[in-house]
Structure 1
């Protein structure tokens, strides 16, 4: 064994953070801290903090757009931002790419005058079950496509269990997840 060093190390310099940002330790997040941005009290789960994923999908289930909000945000509030943010989709025929869908199938949560007026103004046929009038069973044959795509999205563990607390990170992970879902659905050529 060698000899002990002539002097002992002194205390660490005070006021220096251990994170990537000067003076902020770990971006201000603690491992045990719950919640974060884009969370809200879930009205169906005893007020626990939760996240809601809003998806716009094609008729065969390919996700086109995703939006993330707190669990207490009403579904109908996200129809306009999702449809307005939709990038052009090239169809099978000639001409300019479509910037809007022909029909929009949705459940009873989207049944209000504001949504129907917005869809009519954009020339989109609304197939929304009316509260107290229509049965949800008939729309179920179209709704299962969205539910299946949501299950594909929540198969990514980082989205099912919200590890990320910042809005930027969770939005980027959700966008990456829908990109991976679309890539998995591409036809494969075996050579």
Structure 2
């Protein structure tokens, strides 16, 4: 069996996504041109995400429609919260199969260059102060992505410790209360600050954060390696290696969509 292309959507994934998409009724008096099928538009968005092609160069001979049409669908679906509801469904399926593992979580950030500037960009401290953005990722004990956020490249990691924690959705899938808080949180020295340790404790989470000034080799990498590989999974989608969009909501939409695709791969692997 041939391996599916990164932008192809199988029937199982589409069955999860289709009910979440907003329904747009055609006007009976001025119906206009027939609306592009949502599945084709989503495949066009995934084609851009996987190949890093520019919107205007999207190959229409593949049936995706114009790049502007796909861009508008991504914008509208972001505003409708489709990606958040899809993430909740996928996490619930994983929990029903015995995942994710909330015994601990790990957080890390990665830098990407933002060539066109825009909101949530800033002078990157690792790229000669060129405009950049950061992807902040939090995973469970097995490396399953739980939440991701976007900030400027000049934002200190420790100041972004709480937003991803609070962005973890309530994970259902089993009887009883939904889970949305890990027991322990592992982080490197970039998150070393007693004030933020206290904030983490207010969420009933035990912070396990390496301290600055200590000899190299905190031993936390035994648990943190699962999040270290996370950025490579995200940046396996070529469009996320560089931020091309001035609008932060569009880049964040791509980022959240990539997380959903990673979660779906895990769901499919368990089936």
Partner Cα distance (1:110, 1:55) in 2: 13
Partner of 1:24: none
Whether the 8 Å contact between 2:147 and 2:164 is mirrored in structure 1 is yes
Partner of 1:54: 136
Change (3 A) 1:114 1:57: same
Structure 2 residue ranges without an equivalent (≥5): 1-67, 69-114
When Rg is computed on C-alpha atoms for both structures, the one with the higher figure is: 1
Change (3 A) 1:187 1:132: same
Partner Cα distance (2:201, 2:126) in 1: 31
**Stretch moving more, 137-146 or 111-120:** 137-146
Please report how far the alpha carbon of residue 102 of structure 1 lies from its aligned counterpart in structure 2 after TM superposition. 0.4
Aligned length, in residue pairs: 158
Partner Cα distance (1:37, 1:107) in 2: 27
**More relative contact order, 1 or 2 (CA 8 Å, 6+ apart):** 2
Partner Cα distance (2:215, 2:197) in 1: 16
More helix by percentage: 2
SS of 1:114's equivalent? helix
Cα deviations across residues 150-180 of structure 1 (Å, max 9, x unaligned)?
Answer: 1100111111021222111011110000000
Stretches of 4+ aligned residues off by more than 6 angstroms: none
Structure 1 residue ranges without an equivalent (≥5): 1-19, 21-32
Whether the 8 Å contact between 2:116 and 2:245 is mirrored in structure 1 is no
Measured on the aligned residues, the alpha-carbon RMSD in Å equals 2.1
Cα deviations across residues 66-87 of structure 1 (Å, max 9, x unaligned)?
Answer: 1111110011111222212221
TM-score (norm 1): 0.75
1:171 matches 2:252:
yes
Partner Cα distance (1:135, 1:36) in 2: 37
Matches within 5 A, 1:31-180: 34-90=116-172, 94-133=175-214, 135-180=216-261
